[in-house]
Amino acid sequence: MITYDVFYDKHPEEIEIRANGGSAVIEFPVNVTEVETEDGTQYHAEKVYAVKARYTENLLERVRANKEAWLAKAMEIEVSKTTVEDLVEAIDILTGIVLGGE
């Protein structure tokens, strides 16, 4: 289960698919509320269950046809939020690798 705050510019569908080349993230937004911000109206999902899949043209139809199974799979996945400290540590490790330990 991926539990992170997400803001959408428009009210999200029951199933959102974010495609990136040959892969996709299938999102199931939960508890969506309308929020007024400096940039206008946005929609906040308190929690989003998400699962990765290979992208195909008919992915949305496949997910809709078997939504319960896809949602169950997304709810099985446990991912913690990435903190700023996690990112700094990862950048430091990568910098060390790229610069040869300098």
User: Which pair of tokens denotes residue 22?
Assistant: 């040959």
Helix (H) or strand (E) holding 35: strand 23-37
pLDDT of residue 24: 93
pLDDT of residue 99: 80
Q: To the nearest whole number, what is the mean pLDDT of the chain?
A: 85
Which distant-in-sequence residues (6+ apart) come within 8 Å of 90 by Cβ?
none
71, pLDDT greater than 80:
yes
pTM assigned to the model: 0.68
pLDDT of residue 57: 93
Measure the CA–CA gap between 77 and 100, rounded to whole angstroms: 35
Measure the CA–CA gap between 33 and 23, rounded to whole angstroms: 28
- Mean pLDDT score, 8-14: 92
Sign for the CA dihedral angle at 80, 83, 89, 93 comes to: positive
1, pLDDT greater than 50:
no
